Amino acid sequence: MLDLRGEPVGSDSTGFSLETDLRINRAAVNVDFERLFLQNDSTQDIVVQGEDQIVIPSRERTVYVFGQVALPGHVPYVQDKEPKYYVAKAGGFTDRANGGSLRIIKAKTSQWLEPGATTIDEGDYIWVPAQADRPFSYYMTIAYQAATALSVIVSVVFIIQQAHK
């Protein structure tokens, strides 16, 4: 995963790989054992089958920062800190970082959220995507398409004006 830092955008599949790992390969059913055993909450009572595993994760006291940062990895969790704090602790943005598009991936739900939509909790991930590398021809194609559309609109307006004379 860390080998992709600084690579062109076409290779910036880190987010997809992580999302696949979090959502598909580790598909889980969450059970609150305190509610099940201490409060006798039957909504938390699930059927365990032969190949099922019960995993009680260790408490993560870190936030994992990855993507286009200089030193990706675990940063000690500090309550009420903003994403920029964790990015700074991970060495800051690389030259290729698109810092305005970073996402918080919630540890408990695997939701990808914008920084303003959530707070950072223990075990969360912060992903910094790469800027899109677009050649000059990409922008020329957009300008050409816009000019073509504008010329069609002007032509239609001209024809309508001529028809009303």
Mark whether 34 and 50 lie in a shared domain: yes
The domain that contains 113 carries what CATH number? 3.10.560.10
Mark whether 124 and 164 lie in a shared domain: no
Tally of domains in the chain: 2
Number of neighbouring beta carbons within 10 Å of residue 110? 16
* Rounded Cα–Cα distance for residues 83 and 132 (Å): 21
Mark whether 122 and 162 lie in a shared domain: no
Identify the helix (H) or strand (E) that includes residue 67: strand 62-67
Q: Are 127 and 103 in contact (CB under 8 A)?
A: yes
Q: Are 72 and 65 in contact (CB under 8 A)?
A: yes
Closest to 128 measured CA to CA, from 85, 62, 69, 64 = 69
Mark whether 6 and 70 lie in a shared domain: yes
- pLDDT confidence of residue 69: 96
Mark whether 117 and 162 lie in a shared domain: no
Q: Are 51 and 28 in contact (CB under 8 A)?
A: no
User: Which residue segment(s) compose the domain that 84 sits in?
Assistant: 2-128
For 101-150, write each residue's pLDDT tens digit.
999 999 888 899 999 999 999 999 999 999 888 889 988 999 999 999 99
What are 107's two structure tokens? 């540890």
Mark whether 148 and 102 lie in a shared domain: no
pTM: 0.58
For 30-73, write each residue's pLDDT tens digit.
788 888 899 999 998 888 888 788 877 777 799 999 999 999 99
